[in-house]
Structure 1
């Protein structure tokens, strides 16, 4: 499954166009490698996503083409969520 579609279906990022923009700016990595929006995501991959001052690390648990809002959280597990402090 494409990275931008996974981020949208899993509801980590609400819109696919936003997921594409973030990925194409080099702010997402898959297993330690910088990823583009068209990169393939597989079960067991570790994604690191940088949102401004927040860094989210998740592990892919499932790949579903469609999912309901309540089940979206089952597609990944949060490994780490950290914030940078700004002064």
Structure 2
């Protein structure tokens, strides 16, 4: 699945266009590599996201095309 769509479906970022803009600005990395909006996400990938002055790191646990609000938090795990 594309990184921009994954971020939206998992509800890490609320809108796909915002996810695309973050990728284009170089604020999203997949396994330490700067991601383009079309880069693919797979299970066990580590996502690093810089939003404002904060940096968030997530491990991908599940990739699915659709997720309910209740299931979205099962798609990733925050890494400290």
Give the TM-score category using the shorter length. Answer: over 0.9
Q: CA deviation at 1:54?
A: 1.0
CA distance in 1, matches of 2:56, 2:70: 20
Q: CA deviation at 1:71?
A: 0.7
Q: What's the CA shift string for 1:18-71, capped at 9, x where partnerless? A: 000001110000001110110000000000000011110000000010010011
Which consecutive aligned stretches of 4+ in structure 1 deviate over 4 angstroms post-superposition? none
Question: Gaps spanning 5+ residues in structure 1: where?
Answer: 81-87
TM-score, normalising length: structure 2:
0.98
TM-score, normalising length: structure 1:
0.90
Question: Considering only aligned residues, what root-mean-square deviation do their CA atoms show, in Å?
Answer: 0.5
Q: CA deviation at 1:7?
A: 0.0
CA distance in 2, matches of 1:42, 1:68: 19
Question: Gaps spanning 5+ residues in structure 2: where?
Answer: none
Q: Determine the structure 2 residue equivalent to 1:84.
A: none
Q: Determine the structure 2 residue equivalent to 1:33.
A: 33
Tell me how many residue pairs correspond in the alignment: 80
Q: What's the CA shift string for 1:7-26, capped at 9, x where partnerless? A: 00000000000000001110
